[in-house]
Structure 1
Amino acid sequence: MALNFHQLHIFYTVADKGSFSAAAQALHMTQPAVTMQVQSLEDYFGTKLLHRSTKRIELSEAGRTLLPFAQRSIDLIRDTDSTMSKFTKQLKGRLQLGASLTIGEYILPRLLGPFAQEYPHIAISMKVMNTAQIMDEIVNHQLNFGLIEAPVNHPDMHMEAVMSDELKLVVSSKHPLAKADRVTIEEALAHPVVLREQGSGTRLVMEEELRSKQIDPNEMNIVMELGSTGAVKSAVEAGLGVSFLSGSSIKHEEALGLIRAIPVTGLQFKRQFYSIYLKSALLPISAVTFLTFLREKDLRQWL
C-alpha cells in the first residue's frame, strides 16, 4: 500500500475537527469511511496516530509528528492548483460562490464577464447575501467559498485579501457641498448622514476610520439606516443626507450627474475584500482559477 494524499487530508481533518463524525460531515463522507481511511494510514505507518475516547480524539506522539506534514501536503496541493490554474483554459464545471452586497451587486458583475470570456465552459452561480449568511452556507457545504467586505474571525475559515476598494463621501449634485473640491470631515458630518445598516462591511470600515481620527461615529446625525447600497444611493440622490459608499458602486450615478464624490481632507476609507473558505476544504479547480484571476489580473481595467 502506498501513502496517498487523500488519507493525509482525512487524517488532518479528523485532528482539526476533533472527532470522526465532524470530519465526516466536513468531508462529505460517511463516518465508517473516514475511520477506515485513518486505520489504513495507521496500518501504513505501523503505529497508532489517534487515541479514541468517548468525548474527543487525541493525537498520539506519532500523530502529532505527522500533523504538520499533512498540513504542508494540503498547502502544497493548494499552491499547485493555484499555480497551474492559469495554464488551464478548457475548464468545465460550475463555480458556486457567495458575495456580500456591495461586491455582488457592483463589483463582480463587471469581473464575471471578462472571466467568462477567458473560461467560457465554467458555469457561474452566485448568491448575494450578508457575511453571516455566506459563512453559514460555507460551513454547511452549500457554497465553495465567499467574497466579503470586512475581515471575520472564525476558527474553521481561511481568509485572504483578494481585492482593494475605497469608500467615498457622496452627496447629491444639488447638495450645498456638491461644488466643493475637498471638505473636512467636520464639514461633512455637519450634515445629516444616511448609512448602511449596523454590521455591514461598508459601515464597519467607515466607523473604524473615523475612530482612528478620534471621531465618535455615535455623534453623527444619522437620519436613515438602510439595508442596501442602492437604497442609500437613492436617499443621497433625493437630498436626504450625505453618505460613504464604495467608489465602484456610484459610477453610473456620477456619470449621470446625480451624485458627486468629494475627497475628505486627511481621511482615506481604504479597505480590502476577502475570500473565505473552509480550512479543511480543497476547492474545486474552477474556484481556484477564479481566485487566481482576482489575485493576478489588473482589475482596475474593468472597475
Structure 2
Amino acid sequence: MKYTLRQLQVFLAAAHSQNLTRAAEELAMSQSAASGALRELETHFDIKLFDRVGKRLQLNELGRLLQPRVEALLAQAGELELAFQQHAEAGPLKVGATLSIGNYLAVAIMARFMAAHPDARISLDVENTATIAEKVRNFELDIGLIEGEVHFQDLEVQPWREDELVVFCAAGHPLASAGRLGDDELLDADWILRESGSGTRQAFDRAMHGLMPRLKVLLELQHTEAIKRAVQAGLGIGCLSRVTLEDSFRRGDLVPLVVPGRDFRRLFYFVLHRQKYRSAGLERWIALCRES
C-alpha cells in the first residue's frame, strides 16, 4: 500500500480545519510532521489536494472528490481497531440534533444507546437545522436529526416521525379564553418566534402562508426555553413543537390555542451524507430512533 492511514488522517484534519497548524494540534503531531505527511501523500501520487490561500488550505476539486472515500475508509479502520481492542462493534458516533429534538428527544435515545453499548462513545451537537445540515455535509457529524427540510444533492433525507406545531399563550393572556383564532386575531397578536434557518420557523412560515408579511413579530429567539419564558411573561404568543410544550400544558403555565384552517403538521427527519460509511453503530442508532 502506497499511502498510510496517518497521511489520510492529516488530509482529513486539514480539510476540516483548513489550517495545517490546527490539523496538527488535533492529531497531537508537530506541524512539521503533519506538513511532511501531507506533502509525501501529494508527492507520491503527483497530485495536489488543496489550494493554498495564505495560511489557509482550501480543498480543490480532486480533494473534494476524494474526501468522502477517505472519510469512509478511516471510519471502517477506526471501527476495526475498536473491535480488536474492545471486542465491540459500536464505535464513536457524532450525532447532531435541532433544538427541539436535542433537548426533548435525543438525550433519552442516547441513554438507551449507551445502556445497550456501554463501550461506545457518543457526542451530541445541538444546533438549528441549517447548521446541522452543513455539518453533515462537511462530515463533522455522522447523522443529523432535524425538524426542517433541506435540499442538497449530497445529502440523503429520510422521514423519521410525525410532529406538529402548536400556537400557545400564557394562562393569563387575553387570548387564553378566546377559543379559536381567526386571521384577525393572528394579525393583531405580538409573536415570539424561532429564528430563520430553524426547522420550526420553516414549518411556521409555511402554515401561515398569506399572513407572514403582516404578522407582528416582536422577538426572534434561538432557544425554545427562552421563547416559552417570554410568552409566559405575557410578551406575546408563540408557536413551537408539541413535544416541547407538553409539560407546560400539564402544569397550566401555558395554554394551547386552536387555529382552524392552518396545517401545523410536519415531520422530523434523519439527514446523512450520501457517501458516508454507515457503521454498525450508526445503523443501530437509526433503528433505536425509529423504535422510540
TM-score by length of 1: 0.66
Q: Confirm whether residue 273 of structure 1 aligns to residue 271 of structure 2.
A: no
The equivalent of 2:64 in structure 1 is 22
Pair 1:184–1:116, CA change in 2 (3 A): farther
**Which structure 2 residues correspond to residues 174-253 of structure 1 after superposition, within 5 A?**
174-211=172-209, 215-253=210-248
Q: 2:124 aligned with 1:126, yes or no?
A: yes
CA separation of 1:263/1:112 partners in 2, compared to 1, >3 Å: closer, same or farther?
farther
Per-residue CA deviation, residues 236-281 of structure 1 (Å, 9 max, x unaligned), is 0000001111011112322322111122222230111111111112
1:259 to 237, 254, 257: 254
Structure 2: gaps (5+ residues) = 1-59, 74-87
Separation in 1, partners of 2:214, 2:125: 35
How many residue pairs are counted as aligned between the two chains?
219
Query: Structure 1 residue 220: deviation in Å?
Result: 0.5
Within 1, Cα distance between the matches of 2:230 and 2:148? 24
Q: 1:121 to 1:186 in 2, by over 3 A?
A: farther
- The residue matched to 1:178 in structure 2 has which SS? helix
Aligned equivalent of 1:58: none
Q: Deviations over 1:176-216 (max 9, x none)?
A: 121344333432332111111122211111111121xxx22
Over residues 95-118 of structure 1, what are the superposed CA-to-partner deviations in whole Å (9 max), with x where a residue is unaligned? Answer: 211112221122222333344444
1:27-72 alpha-carbon deviations (Å, 9 max, x no partner)? 227xxx9xxxxxxxxxxxxxxxxxxxxxxxxxxxxxxxxxxxxxxx
Which position in structure 2 is the counterpart of 1:151? 149
> In structure 1, how many angstroms separate the alpha carbons of the residues matched to 2:265 and 2:249?
20
The aligned runs of 1:65-76 (5 Å cut-off) are none
Q: What is aligned with 2:277?
A: 282
Q: Does the 8 Å contact 2:187/2:211 carry over to 1? A: no
Q: Which moved more, 1:195-204 or 1:114-123?
A: 114-123
| Maintained 8 Å contact 1:188/1:242 | no
Report % sequence identity.
Answer: 30
**Contact 1:91/1:121 (8 A) holds in 2:** no
> C-alpha distance in 2, partners of 1:250/1:111?
19
Q: In the alignment, which residue of structure 1 is the partner of 2:159?
A: 161
Take 2:62 and 2:168, find their aligned partners in 1: how far apart are those partners? Answer: 52
Partner of residue 138, structure 2? 140
Tell me, yes or no, if the aligned pair for 1:206 and 1:269 is still in contact at 8 Å.
yes
Cα distance, 1:292–1:119 mapped onto 2, change above 3 Å:
same
Contact 1:107 1:249 in 2 (8 A): no
Letter in 2 for 1:288: E
Pick one of 103, 112, 128 that aligns with 1:105: 103
Q: TM-score scaled to structure 2, two decimals?
A: 0.68
The answer to whether the Cα contact below 8 Å between 1:168 and 1:245 also exists between their aligned partners in 2 is: yes
C-alpha contact 1:165 1:246 (8 A) present in aligned 2: yes
Structure 1 segments unaligned to the other structure (5+ residues): 1-17, 34-89
Q: For residue 233 of structure 2, what is the amino acid of its counterpart?
A: A
For 2:167, give the aligned amino acid.
Answer: L
